[in-house]
Amino acid sequence: MRRPRPGPARFDIADIVRAHRAALEAEHRLTPSQKRMLTDIAQCRTAALGGHIDRCLSCGHEHPAYNSCRDRHCPKCQALAQEKWIMLRRQHMLDVPHFHVVFTLPSELRPLARFARRLVYRALMHCAQRTLAAFARRRLGATMGVTSVLHTWTRKLEYHPHVHAIVTGGGLRIDGAGWKPVPPRFLFPVAAMARVFRGKMMATLGEAYGQGAFAGFGDFRDPQGFERLMARLAKLSWHVYVKTPFRKGQHVLDYLGRYTHRVGIANSRLLDVRSDAVTFRTKGRGTETLSPIAFLRRLVAHVLPHRLHKIRHAGLYAPAAARRLQTARAHLRHATLSPPQALCWRQWLARVTGRDVTRCSRCGAPTISVPVARCRDPPTLAA
């Protein structure tokens, strides 16, 4: 049973963007992706993107509804996307225990990650999945199902790249002869996983450095800079965390959905917004207060490179492993699920919010939808 959804937030990040974006750009250089994100958030659900008016056929009441920007970083556009993703993934998820594994990039690598985001993020996700696959193959002799999600923030909006992975508590034997489970409360030795993860990341970064991928990075102007960084990383105990979120697969999707479509901060966490300060909730009862420019600077630090996939599936959950997934389902005696029902956006909205936009909110009578042009559209030319 899902938790009741909170009411409307008191403050909106879009208002902070509209009021302070110019000051931010005057002080800091933004990438095209960061500029696009700020524009999308500022225009989301405003007349700038157009929309429609729901007009009651009985009482004449009108309710304007403007279009969403659909930016993956927008705090107001994730609820429908999350619900659709959960519905589409339901037919792929195995109804077995799943472990939650977190792979964290050491703080010593964060400057390099800021410089080469696309390369380091891809390496982080790829090496995390390869680490899980290696342990599944060597210790289980099996292929596990893995869904991983890239996050780059803490509750304070600080820069902290890490990967959340949801992993099946067992796997299909390499020869396909059966399902091999892991112990109920133990996946693999965490310290050993951390060492393997460290080795794979360092090897990947070393290969990229040899190909000149980090040319222009300040710390590597010294010819010994890269070797010194690798020496420090080799001495560190990299952080890998494992916990068991749920016993059965049908509960995992709701849990995982909170990670797949989570953004750095939601409007509901804003506690106070003034012209000179933004206060938001962090962890527990903690709070953080920043100037509006500092708040926006932290916000744009988490914009992902264009077309970088932050959600990836591996092992049995990989798109190319459909046959092996069906074999695993047969060994587990799980029924094959039918494809999800196709729903229009009004039906999705009703599922998520409980609001039926085809009915008047005042009298309950049917409504009609009247399109509203975008305010920036050119005027219609006379015939």
Model pLDDT for residues 182-236, shown as the tens digit of each residue: 988 889 999 999 999 999 999 999 999 999 999 999 999 999 999 999 999 999 9
Residues 6+ apart with CB under 8 A from 129: 146, 148, 165, 312, 314, 315
C-alpha triplet 133, 135, 141: angle, nearest 5°: 85
Which residue do the tokens 């080469």 mark? 116
In this predicted structure, what is the pLDDT of residue 383? 37
Residue whose C-alpha is closest to residue 108's, from 200, 230, 218, 6: 230
**pLDDT for 70-125, tens place per residue?**
999 999 888 777 877 887 787 788 989 899 999 999 999 999 999 999 999 999 99
Residue written as token pair 């010194």: 228
Among 279, 282, 277, residue whose Cα is nearest residue 293: 277
Is 367 within 8 Å of 359 (Cβ atoms)? yes
Is the per-residue pLDDT at 7 higher than 60?
no
pTM: 0.88
DSSP 302: T
Specify whether the CB–CB gap between 41 and 14 falls below 8 A.
Answer: yes
